[in-house]
Structure 1
Amino acid sequence: MYLGKVIGTVVSTSKNESLSGTKLLVVARLTEKLIPDGSTQVVVDTVGAGNGEVVIVSCGSSARQSTGKDHSVIDAAIVGIVDTVETVN
């Protein structure tokens, strides 16, 4: 899992049928200081996240299980919206 920030949406009318009915968002990966590290990923939104929100992203089989689509092509999913982050300096 990692922290990310929603920076956009993806609209795809032609996609694998296992993605039917899913909302796709573009997420920028964040460091522990909530600074973008330069990488982005298209993820399935399972919690209703919006642009600019800091989110928790799960990857691999955990992402598929969180969507209830165990046999889909999903590789990453938003599983939480972050309220606060506290780190020890």
Structure 2
Amino acid sequence: MYLGKVIGTVVSTSKDESLIGTKLLIVARLSETLAPDGSTEIAVDWVGAGNGEVVIVSCGSGARQTNGHEDTVIDASIVGIVDTVEVHGQRGAA
């Protein structure tokens, strides 16, 4: 899993059947200090995340186990919206 920030959406009318009805978001990977690391990924949103929100992203087989989608092509899922992050006594709002 990693922290990410939602920076956009993806609309795809032609896609694998297992993705029909899913919301696809572009997520920028963040460090533990919430600084962008330069990489992005498309993730399926299961929690109603919006643009600009800091989220928790699960990858690989863990991403497919969300909401019973074990037989899909999903490789990244947004599984949480972050309220705060605390690192070694430092606290930051997401």
TM over 0.5: yes
- Amino acid corresponding to residue 55 of structure 1 in structure 2: V
- Amino acid corresponding to residue 5 of structure 2 in structure 1: K
Local SS of the residue matching 1:43: strand
Q: Which runs of 5+ in 2 are unaligned?
A: none
Give, in whole Å, the separation in 1 of the partners of 2:36 and 2:67. 26
Q: Give me the TM-score of the superposition, normalised by structure 2.
A: 0.92
* Residue in structure 2 matched with residue 25 of structure 1 by the alignment: 25
* Residue in structure 1 matched with residue 3 of structure 2 by the alignment: 3
- Amino acid corresponding to residue 30 of structure 1 in structure 2: L
For residues 1-89 of structure 1, what are the structure 2 equivalents within 5 Å?
1-88=1-88
Displaced runs of 4+ in structure 1, greater than 4 A?
none
Higher strand share: 2
Identity %: 76
Q: Alpha-carbon deviation of 1:68?
A: 1.5
Local SS of the residue matching 1:86: strand
Q: Alpha-carbon deviation of 1:49?
A: 0.1
CA RMSD of aligned residues (A): 0.8
Q: Give me the TM-score of the superposition, normalised by structure 1.
A: 0.97
Give, in whole Å, the separation in 1 of the partners of 2:84 and 2:33. 12
